[in-house]
Amino acid sequence: MESFTLVRSALSVPIAPLQYMVSEPIQIFAYLKNIINTHDKLVSENLQLKANELLLQSQLQRLLAIESENNYLKSLLQSSHHVKEKMKIAEVLSVRFEPYMHRVVLNKGSQDGVYLGQPVLDANGIMGQVVQVGPITSEVLLINDPQSGISVQNTRTGVRAVVVGDSYSSNLRLMFVSKTTEIKQGDFFITSGLGGHYPEGYPVGKVVSVSQDPASQFAEVILQPSAHLESTRQVLLIWYQKHA
């Protein structure tokens, strides 16, 4: 099994140029569209971005203070866990799989240090994990794939659960949640960090419906992913724990 993964990752090298060949012209088109944008539009966009940055910076200052305080408290408790991670931006290749495949291809591979099982984020939350690494490309299994599972935690009540992808609605579903568990529509779920795969505290999704079917033993909780799984162009790769 181990050697087979190697074969597959080696075979991804002759395939990669074809993927780039499809992806590159589309990116160039997007770039050209950007160039011929009107001046006014760019100025207004710039202003908006500056305002946005100011807002984010102010929030960041508070977060930095909290983080240092948190690390200090943790060192007092002599816990070895520190909230520091290395990150890198990768780009999603404009390659379309069949509509029932919940995967994307990134333009970074083992040459950039990408490893199997690496968590991938976008600006709004967890996107998925790397399931196949080639030298120059890698493949990400999105969290709405039925094969993907993340351990999560409710931000309101602290209830832990495992979230899996739902292939029919391309949303997320909580597994084995008893009917008496306190979950409401609008609750946020973040990663709990228990599986060891995903770092702790990143948003995963928001509850859109809770239904209690008398015929089934568990409550059916549907989550909408926080990350924009279908439309994101740039994603963040995180080097987490022992890989950092």
Partner 1 sequence: MRSIIAVILTVMMALMLMLLPMPDWTVWLRPVWLLLVLIYWAMVMPYQVGVGVAWVVGIIEDLLTSSMLGEHALALSFVIYLVSSLHIRLKVSPLLQQSLMVLLFVLLYQFIIYCIQGFIGELPSSHLYWLSPLTSMLLWPWFFILMNDYRRWIRV
Task: Provide the 3-class DSSP secondary structure of residue 100.
Answer: coil
Q: Which stretch binds partner 1 (CB under 8 A): 61-69, 91-99, 192-200, 216-224?
A: 91-99
Q: Which two tokens stand for residue 141?
A: 């299994």
Residue in 96, 160, 228, 233 binding partner 1, rule: CB under 8 A = 96
Residue in 5, 21, 32, 70 binding partner 1, rule: CB under 8 A = 21
Q: Which two tokens stand for residue 162?
A: 């495992």
Nearer to partner 1 (CB atom), residue 24 or residue 53: 24
Q: Does 31 bind partner 1 (CB under 8 A)?
A: no
Q: Which stretch binds partner 1 (CB under 8 A): 48-56, 79-87, 138-146, 203-211?
A: 138-146
Q: Which stretch binds partner 1 (CB under 8 A): 20-28, 190-198, 212-220, 234-242?
A: 20-28
Residue in 28, 83, 87, 101 binding partner 1, rule: CB under 8 A = 101
Shortest approach of partner 1 to residue 87 CB, angstroms?
Answer: 25
Measure the CA–CA gap between 243 and 166, rounded to whole angstroms: 30
Provide the mask over 168-197, with x wherever binding to partner 1 is found by CB under 8 A and - wherever it is not.
xxx---------------------------
Q: Which residues contact 171 (CB under 8 A, 6 or more apart)?
A: 144, 205, 208, 222, 223, 224, 225
CB 230 within 8 A of CB 103: no
Q: In what order do the strands lie in the sheet with 86-91?
A: 86-91, 234-239, 119-122, 125-133, 138-142, 103-106
Q: Does 17 bind partner 1 (CB under 8 A)?
A: no
Nearer to partner 1 (CB atom), residue 110 or residue 132: 132
Shortest approach of partner 1 to residue 29 CB, angstroms?
Answer: 11
Q: What end-to-end distance do the CA atoms of the chain give, in Å?
A: 26
Beta strands in 73-202 (DSSP E): 86-91, 103-106, 119-122, 125-133, 138-142, 149-154, 160-165, 172-175, 177-178, 188-191
Can you give the binding site for partner 1, defined by CB under 8 A? 8, 11-12, 15, 18-19, 21-22, 26, 94-101, 103, 105, 132, 139, 145-147, 167-170
